[in-house]
Structure 1
Amino acid sequence: MGSSSGDSPPLPHQSDTDTLRPTDTGRYLDTLALAARGAWTVTLAGIRPFAFWGAVLLPLLYLPSLYGVGTEQDTALFLDLVVWHMASLVLGHGHTPFWSQ
């Protein structure tokens, strides 16, 4: 037996709200910014205690490196220590040790 037009289901009607619209890039950028901010927060939460203690302990290495100042290698080491110490100060700034909470 053949099929008649009465046997097939009706096709859905396309309304004005179903038409294709250009994508809203602002929404995607907001989502991307939120995800990046969340990733930075999680990463910083993991790094912050190490950076804090690095900022506390790195100055102890200044004196041994200053003892040999005058050679180019020791001067580069001292400058590296200063850069690492500054980065540790910035990244570890908001850390609160567990005993002071």
Structure 2
Amino acid sequence: MRVGSSSGDSPPLPHRSDADRLRLTDLGQYLDTLVFAARGVWTVTLVGVRPFAFWGAVLLPLLYLPSLYGIGTGQNTALFLDLVVWHVASIVLGHGHTPFWSR
């Protein structure tokens, strides 16, 4: 009775042949699929975010005056700059939205 096993007792390990390697055309197909999926995710996300961004771009300027009222302190200056950044982002993301009454 043998306690150990020799290399002859175990099945041979599979080796990579040229057919198993990823070909350049396969890589192109995978990249095309990845780009297609990324565009789909971006489109779905933009469709959900665009109306909120549009209305944010419309309503955020109403908050400028209250934030400018106390502009003397550093905290209010940061709030004002945050509002400007959010407003610009809302304008960019909400640009293509068409409200339901103007369709």
TM-score (norm. length: structure 1): 0.79
> Aligned-pair distance for 1:70?
1.4
1:42 and 2:44 aligned: yes
| 1:15 match | none
1:70 and 2:67 aligned: no
| 1:60 match | 62
What letter is aligned with 1:79?
A: L
Taking the TM superposition and a 5 Å limit, the aligned residue runs for 1:1-101 are: 20=19, 22-23=21-22, 24-101=26-103
Q: Give deviations 1:20-74, integer Å, cap 9, x for gaps.
A: 2532211100100000000000000000000000000000000000000010000
Structure 1 runs of 4+ with >3 Å offset: none
Identity %: 78
Structure 2 portions without partners, runs of 5+: 1-17
What letter is aligned with 2:93?
A: L
Length, aligned pairs only: 83
Structure 1 portions without partners, runs of 5+: 1-18
What letter is aligned with 2:43?
A: T
